[in-house]
Amino acid sequence: MRIDDRLIHGQVVAVWVKHLRTDRIVIVDDGVAKDPFMQEVLRLAAPPGITVDVCSIQEGIATLGEEAPQRDRTMVLLRSPQAARQLFDGGVRFTHLNVGGLGAGPGRKLVFKNISMSDEEKEILKSLVRDGVRITLQTVPGEQCVDFSSLVK
Amino acid sequence: MERRKVALALVISLVLLLAGSLFSVSHAAPLAQGETRMSLGVAIIVGVLYYLALSPWFANLGFTVLYRPLIAGTLVGLVMGRPVEGMTIGANINVLYLGWISAGGSLPGDPGLAGYLGTALALGGGLQTEAALALAAPLGLLGGLTWALRMSVCSAFAHWADARAEKADIRGVALMNVVPSQIFLFFLYAAPVALAAYLGSAAVANALNWIGQNLGWVMGGLYTASGMLAALGIALNLRFLFRGVLPAYFFIGFFVATLAGGNVNLLVLALIGLCVALLHVVFTSGGEEVGPLFPTGGEKAERYKLLERKDVFRSWLLWLFFSHACYNWERLQGTGFAMSMTPIIRKLYKSKEDIRAALKRHLVFFNTQPDIGGVVHGITIAMEEERALGADISDDAINSVKTGLMGPMAGIGDTIQQGIVIPISLAIGMSLALQGNFLGPIIYLILVAAFVWGVGWWIWEQGYLQGRNAVTNILKSGALNRAITVAGVLGNFVLGALTVNFVKVSTKIKFTIGGSTFELQKILDGLLPNMLPLLLVLLVWWLLEKKKISPTTILIGIIIIAVLGSYPILGKFSIF
């Protein structure tokens, strides 16, 4: 399970997918679920041999919730901490969440390398930690990996 | 906070510079033993070259060409008056970085540092060409230190660009992408490397001298380590290339090169590999047709209404040069994107409000692969033109196209450029360089420039002409996947051949049975020449892929094993 507002991109395709031997990527995002053009682009951009499923958060809760215990070859990509919270509340009990990239913008503060967050997002992630989710910040395997709870007090 | 960081970084650079010059003045007396061939002037040139390799002044050929150890070694060799040795050292160092990919602003290891400083120290310290990699490999690991500093300090400059945008100052935004970051980076990169090259050469020379007199076997160990480290470079690449039946082509490449007798011209082998790859695609495609990349017909929006071709071209040029000039954690290529849009904004918008809004719109976080990702810029330019013509296109619409497409295009771009074009061109260039042929680095330069410039502009303009359809057309046409398959076969083939050229392991183990002495290496050669290099590459690949051992651990492990294995522990002879 990874939060990355760029969804599928170089790090995901060139590094993560090979590292984790992923065979399926599930993108849970309401915006993309409504946009057939982006769905097509994301499907076509995935490396050969990897299926890409796109669903809205509601659909995600339904499908991912049933799959527990999670299949380890599936990578779930989300765009924001809010989406992670919604999935969790809907009954998708993931135990580990990787934050790989969150862009900067007004009202967002740099937390770690290329990861910026608003105060609201920080609070959401903190609440997930309280619910027993291990949250790590790491862009690619082999790079420095830090625990969210050690970074934000 | 950010100002403090900038100030701190400048102070550190200046202190380093001052301390270094004082130190070198006080130690100006030439070292008695171990003559070094490094003058301060040459050391400074090496430092500046390292900066240039990471600078935006070479139309994107800095990072893709100058930064590679093959080129770095050649240039340092030229400066130090020993071009052939420099080129050979560079080629040897480069094997380690064949599979090196930097994606999304993360930089594992530093081939440029290993190339420039490694070659300078090896030449200046009088190290054998073949042993240079053992010295350069740990140097490459140090590069991460300056990288983190650069990525955070340049975030501050992005805010300076924001302030210019607020004043609707087009020129100011463009300058902020380049000027502050380049002044800072010049000191950050050039000063430490120049110092290290100057002071390090003497240190290396003295150390080698001492080792040579007291621990002769360690020298042999460094030599062995260099030959073995090449296996790590090849195995790192194989991680991406061993898919399905493709490993078979790795073995074909290995056997063809072995039959050809070792150090052969890889250009010829690569052409054989290309033919094999084309046959592979023909035999496995099941006769499906490849769709045209850009189908003619269908509706096409009219372009070049407000903009002229030269505006779009100028925009591409700015991107080509300065996409990474102010690369930073906060926006990545955000300021580079804004700079590339300046000719477009200047042409399309006249009122101060429009200009300010447009500049701010494009200063946000952005990151893609610079060549293939250019299609996103093309599409953005088209949208800006339509908007200026009165179409109802919101900021949000432009933004969502940019953020939606930059990721997928980067995924494809990294696969093609860093995963295929650069390693294969390098492999050809390196094998020529190893034979002392200066066409090696030159051919590498030509191949990469053709891709970066040719494909870069073509895809940029297609993005502009076709808008969003350009993306789906490129992706849908089978051409792209076929190209990737061809490259997969060719890559395996070439790496098989490179194993023969670059990986050097042999054993000195002997044993005596019934009065006659058997040399293990001779027996192995009789069985299959180059067997040990092949086994080593496969072993390292297995450790990386199946055991998930990190490349750094393997790198250090190889150096230790090679040096210890060279100790004459087994009586008169050692393992290696």
Tell me whether residues B471 and A41 touch, CB distance under 8 A: yes
Cβ distance of A103 and B240 shorter than 8 Å: no
- CB contact, 8 Å: B549 with chain A? no
ipTM of this complex > 0.90? no
The predicted pLDDT at position B7 comes to: 62
Summarised one tens digit per residue, pLDDT across range A84-108 is 898 888 888 888 888 887 876 666 7
The residue that leads in pLDDT, B380 or A78, is B380
Q: What is the CATH number of the domain that holds A13?
A: 3.40.35.10
pLDDT tens digits along A139-148? 777 667 888 8
CA distance B113 to chain A (A): 19
User: To 5 degrees, how large is the angle CA A70–CA A76–CA A82?
Assistant: 110
Q: What is the pLDDT of residue B15?
A: 62
For the cut 70, the answer to whether the pLDDT of residue A10 exceeds it is: no
Compare all CA atoms of chain A with the CA of B476 and give the residue at the minimum distance. A44
- Please name the residue that has the structure tokens 């990509």: A77
Q: B105 at the A interface (CB within 8 A)?
A: yes
Cβ–Cβ of B414/A13 closer than 8 Å? yes
User: B328: which DSSP letter?
Assistant: B
| Contact across the interface for A140 and B404, Cβ inside 8 Å | no
SS3 assignment for B271-284: HHHHHHHHHHHHHH
> Who among B151, B329, B419 is closest to A14 (CB)?
B419
Q: Which residue of B has its CA nearest to A114?
A: B329
User: Which residue, among B348, B255, B337, B304, has the nearest Cα to B534 in the 3D structure?
Assistant: B255
Q: Does A42 touch chain B if contact means CB atoms closer than 8 Å?
A: yes
- Asked if A10 lies within 8 A of B104 by C-beta distance, the reply is yes
Residue B485's pLDDT is 85
Please indicate if any CB of chain B lies within 8 Å of the CB of A40.
Answer: yes
- Does B484 lie at the interface with A, CB-CB under 8 angstroms? yes
Q: What is the reported pLDDT for B25? A: 47
What is the value of pTM for the model shown?
Answer: 0.83
CA A76/CA A67 separation, integer angstroms: 12
Q: Per-residue pLDDT averaged across A74-81, rounded?
A: 85
d(CA B499, CA A8): 34
Suggest the residue from B5, B281, B330 to mutate for an interface test with chain A (most A CBs closer than 10 A).
B330
Pairwise pLDDT comparison (B429 vs A45), residue with the higher score: B429
What are the φ/ψ torsions at residue B195 (nearest 5 degrees)? -60, -50
- Please give the pLDDT value at position B26: 47
Whether the upstream peptide bond of residue A69 has omega within 30° of 0, thus cis, is yes
Residue type, A121: E
- The residues, ordered by sequence, that sit 6+ positions from B407 with a Cβ below 8 Å of its Cβ are A6, A7, A8, A9, A10, A12, A45, B368
CB B246 within 8 A of CB B284: no
- Contact state of B105 with A38 under an 8 Å Cβ cutoff: no
Taking the Cβ of residue B473 and every Cβ of chain A, the question of whether any pair is shorter than 8 Å is answered with no
Of the candidates A95, A114, A118, A97, the one whose C-alpha atom is nearest the C-alpha of residue A106 is A118
Inter-chain touch B471–A143, beta carbons under 8 Å: no
Token representation of residue B50: 């390292």
Which of B103, B411, B413 comes nearest A8 by C-beta? Answer: B411
Tell if the CB–CB gap between B104 and A139 is shorter than 8 Å.
yes
Distance spanning both ends of chain B, measured CA to CA: 54
- Is B364 an 8 Å CB contact of chain A? yes
Contact B101 A114 (CB under 8 A): no
Q: Which two tokens stand for residue A39?
A: 């769905």
**Tell me, what's the pLDDT at B32?**
41
Residues on chain A touching B484 (C-beta within 8 angstroms): 48
pLDDT for residue B286: 65
Return the SS3 of A25.
Answer: strand
Type of residue found at B433: A
Question: For residue B367, how many other CB atoms are within 10 A of its CB?
Answer: 28
Domain that holds residue A78: 2-151
**Residue whose C-alpha is closest to residue B334's, from A134, A105, A146:** A105
Q: Do A6 and B407 touch (CB under 8 A)?
A: yes
Residues A6, B405: C-beta atoms closer than 8 Å: no
CA distances from residue B92 to A30, B99, B498 in whole angstroms, order as listed:
50, 14, 11
Q: Does B180 touch chain A (CB under 8 A)?
A: no
Domain count, chain A: 1
Cβ atoms of B78 and B417 closer than 8 Å: no
Using the Cβ of A104 and the Cβ atoms of chain B, whether some distance falls under 8 Å is answered with yes
Nearest to B365 among A31, A45, A104 (CB): A104
Rg (CA), chain B: 26
Rounded Cα gap, residues A46 and A22, in angstroms: 11
Residue A76 has pLDDT above 90, yes or no: no
A11 inside 8 A of chain B by CB? yes
Nearest by CB to residue A9, choosing from B108, B411, B476, is B411
Of A8, A41, A48, the CB nearest to B472: A41
Residues of chain B with pLDDT under 70: 1-37, 102-108, 144, 262-264, 286-301, 569-574
Distance CA(B478)–CA(B337), nearest Å, equals 30
Of B83, B55, B56, B59, whose CA–CA distance to B71 is shortest? B83
Mean pLDDT rounded to a whole number for chain A: 80
Task: Report the C-alpha gap between A42 and A4 in whole angstroms.
Answer: 14
Count of A-B CB contacts under 8 Å: 116
